[in-house]
């Protein structure tokens, strides 16, 4: 079957499996798990793939990989599986009650990749190459992609190109709209950090006998905020945030330690290195001035996400024929979007192979106030699932057709 004819059929075929996908998505949503601890999620994915006729394999700490095709070039499709440590605040019948939540939509990502796996099985004889399915853990803590890469996800067979989809709720556009990310750098790097101050505890009535770590911690926080305003160009694309500050557990005792936690995001690799060095220097110097010690730790992170120009062009050419001209928009054409300072650990994959990020408008537009990702009230319109499935399948099949040897 010709590529264009197949593209038109894929979306209709994806719609037919929507009831099954909704059931899968709700099972995942009701039982969210975080990081690498996916004791319910991974067996569900393995079971679904096996029932479809795949021979899935574990990859790394909690990843799953499956392949389909006849050799040749390999195109990668990625879906992440982990949730966030957020208490869900919705009225859904299938809401989570375990203190975790799929507030970033990874339940939909996993479901769409499983849906794509089913459609690819239906068209197995028409695959001119190999499609590799990458079910990834620990995206929210920026550790899952690198773990799977180290475990060989991009080899055996070697991956030549790939893509990922991420839902983008809260955007002023119709649900199901596909957004093709800009060529080149599209998301910032991210580094999780913590700065721990060590002092000497004592009674609040006798501060002269203690060394208070809260005072240098407070000054370090202020000094970090001044890096961007006083040490970087005015147009520097940097977001340095301290989101946690912990010290002590009672009001009349000077604590022994204080800790700041946050994230650093930037588009410039050299600037990323320089800022991390300055953060460490500032923390150590201020701590010393207040008779404390400071330890700066960068725990996890990811580089900038890079979209390959050829894969972006391919997406902009193929996807309108799948879901309709009005349902595909380039990031660069969106009004008031500005620079995206969000991060994605698929960035590690994007530095290894040509790839592209596809966004998917997914907030339930029936709500008077649709919420963004990472919000405890997020509700996703499940009708968007076929759009993601069709995008996955059509991109893989058409790219392999174009690069068939």
Identify the pLDDT of residue 24: 98
Q: Is the pLDDT of residue 86 over 80?
A: yes
283-311 pLDDT tens trace:
999 999 999 999 999 999 999 999 999 99
CA–CA separation, 267 and 233 (whole Å): 13
Which has the minimum average pLDDT: 98-102, 193-197, 333-337?
Answer: 333-337
pLDDT value of position 170:
77
Q: pLDDT at position 5, please?
A: 63
Question: Taking Cα atoms as reference points, which of 383, 310, 372, 313 lies closest to residue 340?
Answer: 372
pLDDT beyond 90 at 364? no
> Picking from 67-71, 134-138, 365-369, which range would have the lowest pLDDT averaged per residue?
365-369
User: What are the DSSP calls for 160-183, one per residue?
Assistant: -EEEEEEE-TT-SS-TT-EEEPPS
pTM: 0.94
Length of the chain: 405
Q: What is the pLDDT of residue 193?
A: 98
Q: Are β-strands 130-136 and 74-80 bridged in parallel, bridged antiparallel, or unpaired?
A: parallel
pLDDT of residue 187: 94
**Position 8 confidence tier, pLDDT thresholds 50, 70, 90:** confident
Q: Which residues contact 239 (CB under 8 A, 6 or more apart)?
A: 188, 263, 264, 265, 266, 341
Q: Contact at 8 Å (CB) between 362 and 108?
A: yes
Residues with Cβ < 8 Å from 336, sequence gap 6 or more?
none
Residue 366: pLDDT band with limits 50, 70, 90: low
- The mean pLDDT of 20-32, rounded to a whole number, is 98
Please give the torsion angle defined by the CA atoms of residues 325, 331, 332 and 337, in that order, rounded to the nearest 10 degrees. 130
pLDDT at 87 over 70: yes
The percent of residues above 90 in pLDDT, for the chain, comes to 89
Q: What is the pLDDT of residue 391?
A: 98
329 phi and psi angles, rounded to 5 deg: -130, 140
Instruction: Judge whether 372 and 82 are in contact, CB under 8 Å.
Output: no
Instruction: Give the model confidence (pLDDT) of 250-293 as tens digits.
Output: 999 999 999 999 999 999 999 999 999 999 999 999 999 999 99
Mean pLDDT of 89-98: 96
**How much is the pLDDT for 405?**
74
pLDDT at 70 over 70: yes
Give the pLDDT score at 17. Answer: 98
Average pLDDT taken over every residue of the chain = 94
Is the confidence at residue 355, as pLDDT, over 90? yes
Task: Please write the tens of the pLDDT for every residue from 367-394.
Answer: 667 788 999 999 999 999 999 999 999 9
pLDDT of 161 higher than 80: yes
Q: Which residue pairs, CB below 8 angstroms and at least 24 apart, start in 36-42?
A: 36/61, 36/62, 36/82, 36/137, 36/138, 36/143, 36/144, 36/147, 37/62, 38/62, 38/81, 38/82, 38/137, 41/81, 41/82, 41/110, 42/81, 42/135, 42/137
Q: How far apart are CA 147 and CA 139, in angstroms?
A: 10
Tell me: pLDDT of 363 over 60: yes
- Going by C-alpha positions, the residue among 343, 341, 348 that lies closest to residue 237 is 341
The average pLDDT across 333-350 equals 85
Chain center to CA of 260? 24
Distant-in-sequence contacts of 267-271, Cβ < 8 A, 24+ apart: 267/185, 267/188, 267/189, 267/237, 267/304, 267/339, 268/236, 268/237, 269/189, 269/303, 269/304, 271/232, 271/236, 271/238
- Write down the pLDDT at residue 176: 95
Cβ 86 vs Cβ 98: under 8 Å: no
Q: Measured between alpha carbons, how far is 383 from 363 in angstroms, rounded to an integer?
A: 10
Q: 153 or 342: whose pLDDT is higher?
A: 153
**What mean pLDDT comes out for the span 344-348?**
97
Please report the domains of the chain, with CATH numbers, ordered by start residue. 3-186+305-402 (3.40.630.10), 190-302 (3.30.70.360)
Q: So what's the pLDDT on residue 334?
A: 77
């Amino acid at each position: 079957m010709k590529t264009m004819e197949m593209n038109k059929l894929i979306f209709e075929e994806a719609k037919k499996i929507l009831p099954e996908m909704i059931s899968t998505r709700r099972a995942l949503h009701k039982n969210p798990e975080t990081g690498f601890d996916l004791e319910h999620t991974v067996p569900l994915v393995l079971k679904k793939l096996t029932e479809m006729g795949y021979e899935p394999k574990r990859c790394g700490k909690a990843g799953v990989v499956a392949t389909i095709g006849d050799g040749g070039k390999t195109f990668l499709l990625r879906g992440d599986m982990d949730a966030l440590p957020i208490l869900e605040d919705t009225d859904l019948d299938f809401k989570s009650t375990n203190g975790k939540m799929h507030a970033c939509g990874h339940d939909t990502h996993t479901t769409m990749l499983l849906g794509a796996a089913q459609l690819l099985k239906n068209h197995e004889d028409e695959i001119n190459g190999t499609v590799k399915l990458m079910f990834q853990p620990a995206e929210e803590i920026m550790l899952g992609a690198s773990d799977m890469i180290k475990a060989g996800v991009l080899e055996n067979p070697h991956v030549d190109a790939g893509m990922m989809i991420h839902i983008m709720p809260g955007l002023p556009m119709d649900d199901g709209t596909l957004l093709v990310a800009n060529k080149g750098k599209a998301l910032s790097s991210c580094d999780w950090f913590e700065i721990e101050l060590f002092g000497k505890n004592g009674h609040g009535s006798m501060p002269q006998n203690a060394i208070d770590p809260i005072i240098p911690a407070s000054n370090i926080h202020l000094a970090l905020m001044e890096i961007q305003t006083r040490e970087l160009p005015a147009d520097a694309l940097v977001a340095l945030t301290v989101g946690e500050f912990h010290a002590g557990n009672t009001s009349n005792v000077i604590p022994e330690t204080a800790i700041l936690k946050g994230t650093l995001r930037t588009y410039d690799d050299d600037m990323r290195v320089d800022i991390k060095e300055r953060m460490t220097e500032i923390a150590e110097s201020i701590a010393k001035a207040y008779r404390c010690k400071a330890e700066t730790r960068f725990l996890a992170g990811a580089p900038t996400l890079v979209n390959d120009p050829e894969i972006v062009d391919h997406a902009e050419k193929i996807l309108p024929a799948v879901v309709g001209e009005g349902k595909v928009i380039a990031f660069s054409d969106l009004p008031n979007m500005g620079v995206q300072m969000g991060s994605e650990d698929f960035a590690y994959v994007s530095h290894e192979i040509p790839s592209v990020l596809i966004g998917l408008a997914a907030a339930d537009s029936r709500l008077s106030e649709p919420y963004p990702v990472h919000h405890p009230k997020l509700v996703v319109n499940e009708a968007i699932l076929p759009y993601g499935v069709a995008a996955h399948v059509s991109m893989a099949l058409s790219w392999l057709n174009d690069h068939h040897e």
